[in-house]
Structure 1
Amino acid sequence: MARRDQLTGKGPVAGHSISHAHNKSKRRFQVNLQKKRFYIPEEGRWVTLRVSTQTIKTIDKKGIKAVLDEARRQGIKL
């Protein structure tokens, strides 16, 4: 499975590791993904999603229903 957020599509980005001598080597900044279960009361079921911690904070703020509706409008199947 790709290291990608299931709701936002956020994935790893590339950059440099820079030493004290300012030597640069390529590296990847991974997304902090967590496997989390959410209960959707309107549908009466649990959904397990692999989402980033930033998305978990957004779900806590807006609610799972609003975030899922927004993702479905963007064409994400859940």
Structure 2
Amino acid sequence: MARKDDITGKGALNGYRSSKSNNKTKHKFHQNLQKKKFYVPEEDKWVTLKVSAKTLRTINKKGISAVLKEAREKGTLIKDV
């Protein structure tokens, strides 16, 4: 199972950690993913999605229906909802 946001498709970023002596070690910066259930009134069903904290704030602001519609138009929706 990939660590990706089901709506935006965003995943982990690569980078380096730097020690005091400036030694570099590879590191992954993972998204802050949360597993949440949403009720979609147009389809009259509950949907479980893995979304990042940023996407969750967007859903709270715009509503799940509007966010899913935008994701379908952009083509970023990973999970078939």
Same fold, judged at TM 0.5 (above):
yes
Residues 36-75 of structure 1: pairs in structure 2 closer than 5 A: 36-75=36-75
Q: Deviations over 1:26-70 (max 9, x none)?
A: 110011111100011222111100111111011001110110001
Q: Which runs of 5+ in 1 are unaligned?
A: none
Match of 1:23 in 2: 23
d(CA) in 1 for partners of 2:42, 2:3: 29
- Determine the structure 1 residue equivalent to 2:4: 4
Q: How many residues align?
A: 78
User: Which of structures 1 and 2 has the larger relative contact order (alpha carbons within 8 angstroms, sep 6+)?
Assistant: 2
Task: Provide structure 2 residue ranges, at least 5 long, that are not aligned to the other structure.
Answer: none
Runs of 4+ in 1 over 3 A off after TM superposition: none
Shift of 1:74: 2.3
Specify the code of the residue in structure 2 equivalent to 1:31.
Q
Report the Cα distance in structure 2 between the residues aligned to 1:42 and 1:9, rounded to whole angstroms. Answer: 23
Give, in whole Å, the separation in 1 of the partners of 2:34 and 2:56.
Answer: 9
Letter in 2 for 1:26: K
Question: Which SS does the other structure have where 2:34 is aligned?
Answer: strand
Report the TM-score when normalising by structure 1.
0.92
Identity percentage of aligned residues = 56
